[in-house]
């Protein structure tokens, strides 16, 4: 049976999703921020015959994210809910969940993006082997220097990064940035985004071309991971370059599958 969830279901919902806190980063963050009663955000749950919650479907504006602990869930029922929404444009989530729903959607697929998804619950590196003495935690007034660094790096050239957005993220507490500076400018950095009480996503791992191959990005990553893991949070990240994945795995990240973003025609 599938039905809308409300705040009375919160305990059961979090019991289901917190077991895979990194995998459910967005669902956890959105529910903590906006709850169950907003017009732009709704949550449905599938219950078994014992009235145990088995799967959830979160709608955030035009995006839907499904989650089930096992591959056995009512994918067709979730698809019916999604298709009844005129706003529906995106289906995102772990591939093991989205792949079950896709065959039941009649909307035409415009574009599919697929990323490796990895998480870290424990650092694998010996902290004595990594010099983090130069790594600092950014404050909101550092937003401009952070944006200047990212705009100097080819991989981030197409990203829409504004000083205003960075400042707001650092002020709000949903993001943290660790950095190394030389001569007054940022030369290496690693950040979190979408932080919630149980998990956070790592983004913006970057080093200025003039300072590469000095272990700076690894130092920023170790400082970041050490702080957040120490708070009991799981870390996750997307990557599409297997070479980058090798670096993350040395730190303790493990692949947990693929994250899919499907864009549909209205």
Query: What is the bridge-based pairing of β-strands 254-264 and 90-94?
Result: antiparallel
DSSP conformational letter for 108: P
- pLDDT at 183 > cutoff 90: yes
Residue 210: count other Cβ atoms within 10 Å of its Cβ: 9
Give the pLDDT score at 156.
Answer: 83
| Domains of the chain and any CATH numbers | 2-107 (3.40.630), 120-257 (3.40.630.30)
More confident residue, 169 or 263: 263
Considering only 25-29, 157-161, 260-264, which range has the smallest mean pLDDT?
157-161
Give the pLDDT score at 250.
Answer: 92
Give the pLDDT score at 201.
Answer: 96
Strand partners, 236: 119, 201
- pLDDT at 174 > cutoff 90: no
Q: What is the pTM of this model?
A: 0.90
Question: Is the four-CA dihedral 179, 193, 118, 161 of positive or negative sign?
Answer: negative
pLDDT tens, position by position, 217-259 = 999 999 999 999 999 999 999 998 888 788 899 999 999 999 9
More confident residue, 15 or 169: 15
Estimate to the nearest angstrom the gap between the alpha carbon of 135 and the chain centroid: 23
- pLDDT at 260 > cutoff 80: yes
Mean pLDDT of the region 66-85: 96
Q: Residue with structure tokens 């949903």?
A: 174
pLDDT tens, position by position, 91-114 = 999 999 999 999 999 999 999 999
Give the pLDDT score at 159.
Answer: 79
Residues 6+ apart with CB under 8 A from 163: 143, 144, 147
pLDDT tens, position by position, 123-166 = 998 888 889 999 999 999 999 999 999 999 988 877 778 899 99
What is the average pLDDT score of the chain?
A: 94
How open is the CA angle 215-218-224, to the nearest 5 degrees? 145
């Amino acid at each position: 049976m599938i039905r809308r969830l409300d705040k009375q279901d919160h305990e059961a919902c979090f019991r289901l999703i917190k077991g895979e806190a990194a995998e459910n980063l967005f669902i956890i963050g959105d529910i903590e921020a906006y709850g169950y009663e907003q017009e732009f955000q709704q949550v449905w749950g599938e219950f078994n015959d014992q009235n145990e919650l088995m799967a959830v479907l979160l709608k955030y504006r035009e995006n839907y994210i499904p989650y089930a602990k096992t591959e056995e869930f009512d994918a067709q029922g979730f698809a019916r809910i999604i298709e009844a929404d005129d706003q529906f444009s995106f289906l995102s989530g772990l591939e093991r969940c989205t792949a079950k729903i896709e065959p039941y959607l009649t909307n035409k697929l415009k574009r599919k993006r697929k990323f490796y998804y990895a998480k870290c619950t424990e650092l694998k590196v010996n902290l004595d082997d990594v010099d983090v003495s130069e790594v600092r935690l950014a404050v909101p007034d550092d937003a401009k220097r952070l944006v200047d660094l990212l705009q100097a790096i080819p991989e981030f050239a197409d990203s829409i990064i504004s000083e205003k957005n960075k400042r707001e993220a650092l002020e709000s507490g949903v993001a943290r940035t660790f950095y190394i500076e030389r001569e007054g400018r940022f030369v290496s950095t690693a950040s979190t985004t979408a932080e919630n009480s149980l998990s956070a996503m790592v983004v913006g791992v970057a080093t200025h071309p003039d300072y590469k191959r000095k272990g700076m990005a690894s130092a920023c990553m170790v400082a970041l991971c050490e702080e957040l893991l120490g708070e009991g949070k799981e870390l996750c990240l997307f990557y599409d370059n297997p070479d980058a994945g090798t670096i993350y795995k040395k730190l303790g990240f493990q692949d947990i599958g693929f994250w899919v973003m499907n864009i549909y025609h209205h």
